[in-house]
Amino acid sequence: MNKRSNNNERIKLRPLRIEDYGNMVESWNKAGLPIKVKGRESRESIRKELEVAGASFIGAFDRSKEEKPVGLVIANYDGRRGWINRIAVLPEYRREGVGSALIREAEESLKKKGAKVIAALIDRSNEPSRKLFEKLGYSMNDEIVYYAKRESPDS
């Protein structure tokens, strides 16, 4: 991904690196996403995910203060499907097209890797994310029930 802007010239998208980890955690917190810094969102877990060929971490940055992301998303490819995860946009940047730009960038990345189906798991109570994905052409599949087996509550 090149450093490029979306429709909103105020925002620039770029890949995130492990050096951005602290800012990622801060952005997730400010956006109200629950995070597990001792588990699946630990620095080591994120470092491993960044090293996997199928994972893309994408940040949205305000051009006037580029050091911290105002939004971010993780796009994973499992060899069959693309998964959009952990999308977060800071409250003061919502409804400005940042989330849409991040999803489109994630889709582009996943399609380049071969994904024919792109999916997202969204908490039923997360109405803003559900509406955003629906606006971008995603449809809810209410026939799927999600099960998880965790090693620990932080997993």
pLDDT of 3 above 70? no
* Predicted local distance difference test score (pLDDT) of residue 2: 43
* Predicted local distance difference test score (pLDDT) of residue 8: 66
Interval 105-130: pLDDT, tens = 999 999 999 999 999 988 888 888 99
Q: Report CA dihedral (112, 35, 147, 116) to the nearest 10 degrees.
A: -10
* Predicted local distance difference test score (pLDDT) of residue 101: 96
Task: Phi first, then psi: give them for residue 45, nearest 5 degrees.
Answer: -65, -45
- Quote the mean pLDDT of the chain: 89
Interval 26-78: pLDDT, tens = 999 999 988 888 888 999 999 999 988 779 999 999 988 877 899 999 999 99
Which residues are paired to 82 by β-bridges? 77, 118
- Taking CA atoms, 1 is separated from 41, 57, 89, 107, in Å, by 23, 11, 20, 12
Question: Taking the complete model, does pTM exceed 0.95, yes or no?
Answer: no
Which residues are paired to 61 by β-bridges? 12, 69
CA distance 75 to 91: 21
Place of tokens 């069959």: 80
Topology, domain 4-135: Aminopeptidase (3.40.630)
